[in-house]
C-alpha cells in the first residue's frame, strides 16, 4: 500500500514576517540556521549596529576564523539601495564576510555579488541567500535557506590539506573532535573546518569569548573559556563577574578549574585540564582516542556550566544603573 503523501506549499515571507525588522529579530534568535548554510560558527554580536548615521541589520563574528560578518536583510526584491548599504556597512565594520538575504534576487544583483567574488581578494567573501518558507498540508511553515551566490573558492578552500605534517596532525585530531562533539551534541556548533594549529575554537554566544580545545606548550591539553574582547579592562571585568560564580560553576563541572586572570596581559582564561600528561598531537592513536572522547564530553560540561553566566555578562557601559 502506498503511504499517503502531503502537499508541499510555499508561503510568502511577508505572511510570516510583516516587516523587515521582524525578520531581523527572528534571524537574530535563530542565527544557528545561518551558521549551517554558511558553514561558519557565528557568534551574534548585535543588531542595528551604527555605521555613521545608518545601522547594519546584524553583525556577527565567525568564531572559527575571527572574520566579522555583516548581514543585510530585506523582504522585497533586491535593489541598488540595499547593495550599497551592504557594502557601506561592511566597510564601516571592517567585515570580511558580506551576507545579503532576500526572498527574491534580481539577476543584476546576483551578478553583482558574483562579480565582487571574482574581483576581490580572498579576504572578502560575498554571499547571496534566499530564504523560502515551506509547509506540508497544514503544518507550521519551515525555513529553508538557499545559496544564490557564493565565492568560487569557498568550498574548495575548506578542503585544502594542511601543508606540514604537524598541521595535518592537528587538523586530523580536531576534525575527529568536531565529529564526535557534533554527533553527541547536535546544534552546539556548526563549525566544519578543523584547525591546523594547536587550538580549535567554537563560539559560546558572546562576542569576545570563545570555548577552545588547546594543546599547550608544556605538553598538556585543556578545554578553556578564553576572554578577549580586545579591551583588557573589559576582559578583567568579565573574568571577575564569572569568578563570582566560581563555586556554582565548579559544582556543575564536578571538579575545580584553573582560573587565570593573567594580570598584566590583555586576555583572561579559565581552564579544565586533561589528567593525562605529557600529551601531544604526535602521540599514537591509543593515547589520543581517549582524549577525543574526553574533549567532547568536557567541552559540553564546560559550555553548560558557563553559558548562563556568559549570557549575563555586562560591561560597565551596559550595566543597569
> Residue 91: its pLDDT value, please?
82
What is the CATH code for 9-157? 3.40.1350.10
> Which has the minimum average pLDDT: 60-69, 138-147, 212-221, 293-302?
60-69
Strand 54-62 and strand 142-149: the pairing is unpaired
Instruction: Fill in the DSSP letter of residue 320.
Output: -
The pTM (predicted TM-score) of the whole model is 0.57
pLDDT tens profile 85-125: 898 888 877 788 999 999 999 999 999 999 999 888 778 89
Residue 71 pLDDT class (50, 70, 90 cuts): very high
For the chain, give every domain's residue range: 9-157, 165-316
> Residue 321: its pLDDT value, please?
41
Q: Could you tell me the maximum CA-CA distance found in the chain, to the nearest angstrom?
A: 73
Strand 97-101 and strand 67-73: the pairing is parallel
Q: Comparing C-alpha atoms, which of 131, 151, 153 is closest to residue 141?
A: 131
Residues 125/99, Cβ–Cβ less than 8 Å: no
Residue 163 predicted with pLDDT over 60: no
Residue 156 predicted with pLDDT over 60: no
Higher confidence at residue 274 or residue 56? 274
- Report CA 163 to chain centroid distance, whole Å: 25
Class of domain 165-316: alpha beta
Average pLDDT, the chain: 86
Q: CA–CA separation, 71 vs 48, rounded Å?
A: 10
- Residue-wise over 50-65: b if at least 16 C-beta within 10 A, else e? ebeeeebbbbbbbbbb
- Ranked by mean pLDDT, the top range of 48-57, 112-121, 129-138, 171-180 is 171-180
Residue 254 predicted with pLDDT over 90: yes
How crowded is residue 296: how many other Cβ atoms within 10 Å of its Cβ?
22
Q: Where are the alpha helices (DSSP H) in the chain?
A: 20-29, 31-38, 80-93, 107-119, 154-157, 165-184, 232-243, 246-253, 285-311
> Residue 255: its pLDDT value, please?
96
- Ranked by mean pLDDT, the top range of 69-73, 82-86, 149-153, 289-293 is 289-293
Amino acid at each position: 500500500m502506498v503511504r499517503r503523501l502531503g502537499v508541499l506549499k510555499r508561503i510568502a515571507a511577508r505572511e510570516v514576517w510583516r516587516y523587515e525588522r521582524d525578520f531581523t529579530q527572528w534571524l537574530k534568535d535563530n542565527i544557528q540556521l545561518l551558521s549551517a548554510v554558511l558553514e561558519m560558527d557565528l557568534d551574534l554580536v548585535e543588531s542595528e549596529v551604527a555605521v555613521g548615521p545608518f545601522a547594519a541589520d546584524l553583525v556577527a563574528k565567525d568564531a572559527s576564523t575571527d572574520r566579522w560578518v555583516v548581514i543585510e536583510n530585506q523582504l522585497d526584491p533586491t535593489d541598488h539601495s540595499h547593495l550599497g548599504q551592504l557594502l557601506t556597512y561592511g566597510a564601516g565594520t571592517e567585515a570580511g564576510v558580506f551576507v545579503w538575504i532576500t526572498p527574491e534576487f534580481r539577476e543584476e544583483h546576483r551578478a553583482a555579488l558574483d562579480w565582487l567574488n571574482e574581483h576581490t581578494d580572498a579576504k572578502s567573501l560575498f554571499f547571496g541567500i534566499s530564504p523560502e518558507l515551506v509547509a506540508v498540508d497544514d503544518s507550521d511553515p519551515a525555513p529553508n535557506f538557499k545559496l544564490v551566490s557564493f565565492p568560487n573558492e569557498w568550498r574548495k578552500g575548506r578542503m585544502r590539506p594542511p601543508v606540514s605534517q604537524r598541521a595535518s596532525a592537528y587538523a586530523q585530531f580536531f576534525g575527529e573532535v568536531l565529529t564526535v562533539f557534533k554527533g553527541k551534541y547536535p546544534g552546539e556548533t556548526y563549525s566544519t573546518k578543523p584547525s591546523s594549529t594547536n587550538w580549535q575554537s567554537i563560539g559560546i554566544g558572546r562576542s569576545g569569548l570563545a570555548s577552545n580545545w588547546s594543546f599547550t606548550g608544556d605538553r598538556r591539553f585543556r578545554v578553556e573559556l578564553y576572554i578577549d574582547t580586545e579591551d583588557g579592562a573589559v576582559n578583567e571585568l568579565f573574568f571577575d563577574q564569572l569568578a563570582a560564580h566560581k563555586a556554582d560553576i565548579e559544582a556543575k563541572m564536578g571538579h575545580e578549574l584553573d582560573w587565570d586572570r593573567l594580570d598584566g596581559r590583555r586576555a583572561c582564561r579559565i581552564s579544565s585540564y586533561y589528567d593525562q600528561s605529557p600529551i601531544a598531537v604526535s602521540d599514537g592513536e591509543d593515547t589520543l582516542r581517549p582524549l577525543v572522547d574526553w574533549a567532547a564530553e568536557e567541552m559540553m560540561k564546560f559550555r553548560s556550566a558557563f553559558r548562563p553566566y556568559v549570557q549575563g555578562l555586562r560591561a560597565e557601559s551596559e550595566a543597569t544603573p
